Structure 1
Amino acid sequence: MTRIMAHVLEQDPDFKVFRRLQPMRRRRSGGNREGERTLCVLDLVTTGPDVRRDRILRLTLQRANVDACGRIVETHEARSWFEDPGFELAPEQVQATGITQLDVAGRTISDGEAFGLIASADMLVSHGASNHRPFVDRRLCLPATRWTCTLDDVDWHAHGFARSDLRGLLSGCGWFLDGDAGGDRTNVILNLLELGLPDGRSVLQALSEPEDASALMVEAGSVPIGATSLLRERGYRRPSGRRTWIRSISAACVEDERAWLMRRVYGGTRHLVAVRAEQA
C-alpha cells in the first residue's frame, strides 16, 4: 500500500517522494574476470582543513569490483576507524562533524590495514579529494595512487543538480539517510557512481575513461512501462520525440548489455535490440 501511495504522489507535480537509500550489496560467484578493476571509496572527517594543524577523526574505506564495462559487480564491507586527535574537541568541531570526544577517546586508525586496502586498489574515489588527499598522503605515505573526485570531477550543476555536496546530491536523487556514519557516506558515493548521465554513460564510466565519439549506441524499443526506471538507473535516456531508449557503450559490452535487456527489461523473451556505431 505504501509503495502504491508513493507512486501516486510521484505523478503529482506538487509532491516529491524521497526513498531511504539502501546499502549497495553486490555478490558474485567465481574469481575476478578479465578486465576487472578494484576501486576503493574513501571518506574522511578531520578537525579542520589545515593538514599541518588539524587531525583525522574518522577514516572510512569501502572497496568494490568493477567489470570491463564500468559496472560495479561486487561490493565489500566498509571499514571505519575513529582516531583520538590528542586534544579536546571544540564545541564547533563536534557540531560540524557530529563526532564527540567519547567517539574518539583512545581510538586509533589501523595504518597497516588502511594502507593495504588503498594501495592494492586501481582507483581511489573520494567526494572532496583535494581536501582529503593531503591528510591521507601524510598519514599513510601512499605509493602513486590514482585519485578520482566525485565532487570536483563531475559537473553536477550541468546535470541538473542544484548542489554538489553529498546531502544535496542525495536530495536531488530523491534519497535520504537515517544517519551520517562513514559507511553511510561511502554507500552514497557508490550509488552516485552508478547514476546515468545524459550522454548514456554512468558517473563511474565518465570518471574512468574519456568520452568516445565512436561508441556504439544500444537502442531498445517497446519497453514495458514498469521497466523505464530500470533503464534510467542503467544510464539509458529517451530523446525527445522518440519512443526508444538509448545508451552509449563500448563494443566489448554489447552482448552483456543484450543479455541484461532480455532478462531485466523484456522478461526473458526474445526482442530486437538495435546496435549501431553512432554517437549517442
Structure 2
Amino acid sequence: MIDAPNLEELAAALEVSSDYRVLRRLRPREPVEGYDATETRLGLMVDVETTGLDPDLDEIIELAMVPFRYALDGMIVEVQEPFDRLREPTKPISPEITTLTGISDAMVAGKSIDPEEVAAFAAPAAVVIAHNAAFDRRFLERFSPVFSTKPWACSMSEIDWAAEGFEGTKLSYLAMALGFFYDRHRAANDCLAAIEILARELPRTHVPALVRLLDRARLPTWRIWAENSPFEFKDLLKTRGYRWNGEGNGKPRSWYFDVADAEKDAEISYLLREIYRYEADIRTVRVTAYDRFSSRV
C-alpha cells in the first residue's frame, strides 16, 4: 500500500509532465497568521437547494452559509465554521430534485430552518456572495429580510471567467480547472468550493478572484428598458443581449438590458438611432449591489 507522503510525491512527479494533470481533493483552508483583524471584512458565501426554480412557488430544502474573513487587499485569511440546515417542504420532493441535489424526503423529515437563527448568523456579513446570486437571492430574501439589507455579489456572473481563459462558469468546472475536486450536490460543500475558487489567483490578471469580484460588484449598473419598441426589431434586441420580461411582476412587459455605468449613454443613443428612430423617453433604473439580483429590480 502506498502511504500519503508517497502519493503526494507521485502527484508532484506527474505535474512535472505536460501529459498529466492532477486534481487534489479540496482540503480546509488554513488561516493566514499575522493579519490585523481590524483590517478585514466578513464575507458570507451562501447556497440553497430548493424544490424548484420559482421562489414564489418553490421552497428551500437546504441552506448553507459559510462566513470567511478577507483582508482589504482581497486575500482570504480565514474560513469559519459553516451553517448548514435541512428543511422539510410542504410538498414531497420530486424524484428529479432528489436526483439533482441528493436530498430525499427521508433526509428532511421533521427538519426546519429557524429564520431568526439565519438572520443572526448573516447579520455581521459585509457582503453576501453566491455562485448564481440571481437564483439564491430571490429565495433567501423571501425566507429572511436580513438578506435584503446586504450588498450581494455573484461569483458566476461578475467575474469575466472567459477573459481569464476559462471555458465555463459552473462551479465544478472552475474547481477542476484550478486543480481540485470536491463532493458535490451539498450546499456547504459548494460554498467551500466557491470560497476556494475566490481565494485563487486568476491566471491572466494575477490577482485573487475575490478582488475582481468585489471590484465589479461595487460598480453601479443601469437597467435599460426598451418599452414599446417596434416588434420588427425584437430579433435585433435579442441578438444584442436584451431579455424579455413577460411576467406579471409589476415591471414593464418589454425588452431590457443591463449595462455598466460608463456604457449607459451609448446604449441609449443606440436605441434612439437604431430601434426607435425618434426621440423616445427611455426608462432607466440605477442598480447597485444592494438590489442587484433581487426581485425588486
Fold shared, TM-score > 0.5 on shorter chain: yes
Q: Quote the residue 2:106 is aligned against.
A: 102
Indicate conservation of the 8 Å contact 1:124/1:147, yes or no.
yes
Indicate conservation of the 8 Å contact 1:38/1:64, yes or no.
yes
Indicate conservation of the 8 Å contact 2:164/2:205, yes or no.
no
TM-score relative to the length of structure 1: 0.70
Measure, in 1, the Cα distance between the counterparts of 2:93 and 2:205. 46
Task: Please report how far the alpha carbon of residue 27 of structure 1 lies from its aligned counterpart in structure 2 after TM superposition.
Answer: 6.6
Indicate conservation of the 8 Å contact 2:68/2:78, yes or no.
yes
Indicate conservation of the 8 Å contact 2:51/2:58, yes or no.
yes
Within the candidate set 187, 191, 197, 2:192 is matched to: 187
1:131-171 residue CA offsets vs partner (Å, 9 max, x unmatched): 11111001101242110100110121221222211111111
Structure 2 unaligned spans of 5+: 1-5, 217-297
* Partner amino acid, structure 1, of 2:46: L
Q: Quote the residue 2:43 is aligned against.
A: 39
Measure, in 2, the Cα distance between the counterparts of 1:160 and 1:28. 32
User: 56-65 vs 18-27, which deviates more?
Assistant: 18-27
Q: Is the counterpart of residue 137 in structure 1 residue 122 in structure 2?
A: no
How do 1:73-84 residues align onto structure 2 when only pairs under 5 Å count?
73-84=77-88
Q: Quote the residue 1:11 is aligned against.
A: 16
Q: CA 1:79–1:180 in structure 2 vs 1: closer, same or farther (change >3 Å)? A: same
Task: Please report how far the alpha carbon of residue 127 of structure 1 lies from its aligned counterpart in structure 2 after TM superposition.
Answer: 0.4
Indicate conservation of the 8 Å contact 1:51/1:134, yes or no.
yes
Structure 1 unaligned spans of 5+: 211-280
Task: Please report how far the alpha carbon of residue 186 of structure 1 lies from its aligned counterpart in structure 2 after TM superposition.
Answer: 1.2
Q: CA 1:114–1:162 in structure 2 vs 1: closer, same or farther (change >3 Å)? A: same
Q: CA 1:173–1:200 in structure 2 vs 1: closer, same or farther (change >3 Å)? A: closer
Larger Rg: 2
Indicate conservation of the 8 Å contact 1:162/1:172, yes or no.
no
Q: Is the counterpart of residue 165 in structure 1 residue 165 in structure 2?
A: no
Task: Please report how far the alpha carbon of residue 31 of structure 1 lies from its aligned counterpart in structure 2 after TM superposition.
Answer: 7.6
* Partner amino acid, structure 2, of 1:44: V
- 3-state secondary structure, aligned to 1:209: helix
* Partner amino acid, structure 1, of 2:7: T
User: 128-137 vs 117-126, which deviates more?
Assistant: 117-126
Task: Please report how far the alpha carbon of residue 208 of structure 1 lies from its aligned counterpart in structure 2 after TM superposition.
Answer: 2.0
Measure, in 1, the Cα distance between the counterparts of 2:62 and 2:14. 39
Within the candidate set 75, 96, 111, 1:71 is matched to: 75
Task: Please report how far the alpha carbon of residue 17 of structure 1 lies from its aligned counterpart in structure 2 after TM superposition.
Answer: 1.1
Identity %: 27
Q: Quote the residue 1:119 is aligned against.
A: 123
User: 46-55 vs 109-118, which deviates more?
Assistant: 109-118
Indicate conservation of the 8 Å contact 1:83/1:107, yes or no.
yes
- 3-state secondary structure, aligned to 1:42: strand
TM-score relative to the length of structure 2: 0.66
Indicate conservation of the 8 Å contact 1:28/1:74, yes or no.
no
Indicate conservation of the 8 Å contact 1:27/1:75, yes or no.
no
- 3-state secondary structure, aligned to 2:14: helix
Indicate conservation of the 8 Å contact 2:29/2:78, yes or no.
no
* Partner amino acid, structure 1, of 2:129: V
Indicate conservation of the 8 Å contact 1:40/1:117, yes or no.
no
* Partner amino acid, structure 1, of 2:212: A
Task: Please report how far the alpha carbon of residue 192 of structure 1 lies from its aligned counterpart in structure 2 after TM superposition.
Answer: 0.9
Task: Please report how far the alpha carbon of residue 2 of structure 1 lies from its aligned counterpart in structure 2 after TM superposition.
Answer: 1.6
Measure, in 1, the Cα distance between the counterparts of 2:135 and 2:184. 23
Indicate conservation of the 8 Å contact 1:81/1:110, yes or no.
no
Task: Please report how far the alpha carbon of residue 30 of structure 1 lies from its aligned counterpart in structure 2 after TM superposition.
Answer: 9.2
Task: Please report how far the alpha carbon of residue 29 of structure 1 lies from its aligned counterpart in structure 2 after TM superposition.
Answer: 7.7
Indicate conservation of the 8 Å contact 1:24/1:190, yes or no.
no
Q: CA 1:38–1:90 in structure 2 vs 1: closer, same or farther (change >3 Å)? A: same
Q: Quote the residue 1:23 is aligned against.
A: 28
Measure, in 2, the Cα distance between the counterparts of 1:178 and 1:134. 26
